[in-house]
Structure 1
């Protein structure tokens, strides 16, 4: 699949993907982004954690795609890891970003499923900015696994009856220990779209939605193709998995805190800034952290579908199956013992080999 035509290059846009440890989702994310990449736009992959197999494997995935797409993908791994807001702020202050005007910040498990996505977001941004001037904060696509996007996607795809018949039940929203959004129970017929909303804490709901959107991309695309942009209510905190904004906004939201999403929400609410969704841009988000463990197999199912769909001449993943993935992890653990003595190292190797033999036996 070739890159989509785009006028984004003339707009001085950069796409920033924040990375940490979710290497399996990142492989799928980068494969999709490269299939639908806008011409002339650089992808900057910012590695924001180091140490441990998952972090180093994630960095290896980023470097692999940088080799596969020279001049398109650039890896940044020399900024000390820290809260995402701080590391992104350091990156955007570098001389390389002096000419960049617009930033599209994307999470490492969020990706488009059709071409022309950035051009549509830019067109939405231009129209909204022309209409409201400095009152525009950012533009977002229509993300399926998103507190606000969840009911929007259901409406677009006529899934509401199925959800309320088969999936809905009284449920918790909010988070224990979060003073900003205390946990409470809401009835089955209600959907919470704000902080830690309905879909956030329930992996089985996210799975149900992925099965009808991520794993049925043509249906998702068709249902959203003709949707008009709409406002996202700024009084509800929005999950910023993919946002297009002017670079200067990132500095403006700084209130000394560490939570970029909270700072963005408070700044937009305080200044009554608009948030606009380009609803004709269908976007996938694999998992909130609350969903990740239970729904890890969604990545495998999506990879099996998208490997052929995206049309790359190389496999999405470095390792073809889970057995080879486990082999690689065990080799890494053998080579990186935590301050082990020689005796402890040998014991660790014996345990690793025993685990591997057991896994193979179970699979057979």
Structure 2
């Protein structure tokens, strides 16, 4: 049996840098003790060290593999909340917790169902308001496979600090021509499937970095897109999340499809416009909260500053796009 004791909400959310950790021999006893603790606020994790390596083994995305339990009988369905597991220890006090060890993902992974919404501002000229779309929020989290709505990730090699994954994303068309008079005659943009690879890294202090590339494998548009991002997570009460900074590259084919005007579709009010590869910067915020034992809320929002070659397009009248995704999920 192993244990890890935490006194920080930020490190507890990632299950890293405990203030104390150790092991107990499995010698038939039912009571295990941690002594010589000073008064303070703590959260406790205990686990079954199945391979006797004196550490908590994790899967491809960092979720513990081995059976575990938290203080206060807390059973998180996502990143653990310090507040839900925390307890106060005073001088000369003894605290007792009865625990039942369970694998966080069970034997076959964890499925979630719910409803989500995509809200997106439109950069296109003469389009007022924003795009709002309700979608089913179906998720699956396994040791190597993760499905989050239209996004899929499959762990290939590595674990811990450096990992390589295969990715797939269903890309929804950028616009329909009925959305704006300036788009009339341009035709609706194509939906397609982007498939690629992601290199994922974990830096000290709970900082995550990623480098991704995905290509249009259906060749409906052609080309691909790459993204480099840095993200830092914090504990905010019952919520876990933090800021993200990203640099995005888009191939000429994708840029032309979304923002270009071919010569054959040019009009006096909509002159021809061509583009090459584009770069954009994104700042974002991700939040996760377990609002009830089996219910979670996810919020992702981002602000993307568009490349100058996009903002000078005759069908565009904004230099940024705001996009948000919010979902409420019941997790089995």
Band the TM-score falls in, shorter-chain normalisation:
under 0.3
Q: What TM-score does the superposition give when structure 1 sets the normalisation length?
A: 0.19
Larger Rg: 2
Asked which structure has the greater RCO (Cα within 8 Å, sep 6+), the reply is: 1
Q: What TM-score does the superposition give when structure 2 sets the normalisation length?
A: 0.21
Give the helix-richer structure, 1 or 2: 1
